[in-house]
Amino acid sequence: MKMRSAVLGLCVAAALSALPVLADPVVYIDLDTEAPGIQSTRTAVVGETFKIYLVLTDDGNGTGTTTFDTVILGVYFNDVKPSVLGVTSTAFPHAGDLAANSETVIDAFSKQPIKPGGEMALTSAQGTFVTARTTGRPYLSTAGRAGLIALGKPFSISASQAPAIFAEGKLNAGFRSLATGTSSIIAAGPGGNAEMSLNGQPIRARLVPGVVTVVPPNTTVQPHNDPANYQGTTSPNGNN
Ligand SMILES: [Ca+2]
């Protein structure tokens, strides 16, 4: 019996190693659009409004390049309690430099051509909440979903390129008065769908949330450009 399971294990291992190793796209939330690099944490005082970037990278696994013709992301937050973060219904996201990654890019919902900086159509993501993959808690709020489609040549991101900004959005801290607390923010394919696709084939991404701590008014907040938060920086003093 032991021998049989060992042989079976070898067969499974051989079958797994024969599978193509796919590139591994990653979706980050950059919580500080002013500071270079990706900041995954920040502190905000009640009433503060701040911008975020939804950033796509490829972590270099497998082929090291991800090609896709469609990307649709919903933004979700308030996984600990309601109203720590909120959005203004009149604040629409703007397309990032990914909109220039292919010759002809259209908004996934308005179907209109779009360039970097262009206002994106925002579609309700109500009823498509996702559960935080890391904590198992459901997200209570959503900013809606937006998307880009490349006509012709697909989008391409690789580990050797700078991270591509999908969109810039805006969030309010302490959406109801004195809603202090913590919230993670995640960008994910809505309704359990994949984040991207190519010719209709779904491509799942690894999702890295940003974590915001909302503190009472008149709290002194340290600058957000703490080098320890830089992606890829391991030295706490940022000297490496
Ligand atoms: Ca940044």
For the chain, which residues score pLDDT lower than 50?
A: 1-3, 7-18, 20, 226-240
CB neighbours of residue 236 within 10 Å: 10
Task: Determine the distance separating the centroid of ligand 1 and the alpha carbon of 158, expressed in angstroms.
Answer: 19
Q: How far apart are CA 33 and CA 83, in angstroms?
A: 23
- pLDDT score recorded for residue 49: 95
Task: Determine the distance separating the centroid of ligand 1 and the alpha carbon of 30, expressed in angstroms.
Answer: 5
Task: Determine the distance separating the centroid of ligand 1 and the alpha carbon of 167, expressed in angstroms.
Answer: 13
Q: How far apart are CA 25 and CA 223, in angstroms?
A: 29
- DSSP bridge pairs for 149: 70, 106
Q: How far is CA 113 from the centre of its chain?
A: 23
Q: How far apart are CA 238 and CA 20, in angstroms?
A: 37
Q: What helix, strand, coil percent values describe the chain, rounded to 5?
A: 10, 40, 50
Write down the mean pLDDT value for the chain: 84
- pLDDT score recorded for residue 134: 66
Task: Determine the distance separating the centroid of ligand 1 and the alpha carbon of 220, expressed in angstroms.
Answer: 21
Task: Determine the distance separating the centroid of ligand 1 and the alpha carbon of 133, expressed in angstroms.
Answer: 23
Task: Determine the distance separating the centroid of ligand 1 and the alpha carbon of 52, expressed in angstroms.
Answer: 8
Structure tokens at 37: 């690099």
Task: Determine the distance separating the centroid of ligand 1 and the alpha carbon of 32, expressed in angstroms.
Answer: 4
Task: Determine the distance separating the centroid of ligand 1 and the alpha carbon of 40, expressed in angstroms.
Answer: 9
Torsion angle, alpha carbons of 91, 92, 96, 99, to 10: -170
Task: Determine the distance separating the centroid of ligand 1 and the alpha carbon of 201, expressed in angstroms.
Answer: 31
Coil vs helix vs strand at 127: coil
Task: Determine the distance separating the centroid of ligand 1 and the alpha carbon of 156, expressed in angstroms.
Answer: 21
Q: What backbone torsions phi and psi does residue 48 show, to the nearest 5 degrees?
A: -75, 140
- pLDDT score recorded for residue 126: 67
In the chain, where the domains are located: 21-223
Q: What backbone torsions phi and psi does residue 195 show, to the nearest 5 degrees?
A: -75, -30
Coil vs helix vs strand at 164: strand
Q: Which CATH class is domain 21-223?
A: mainly beta
Q: Is the pTM of this model over 0.85?
A: no
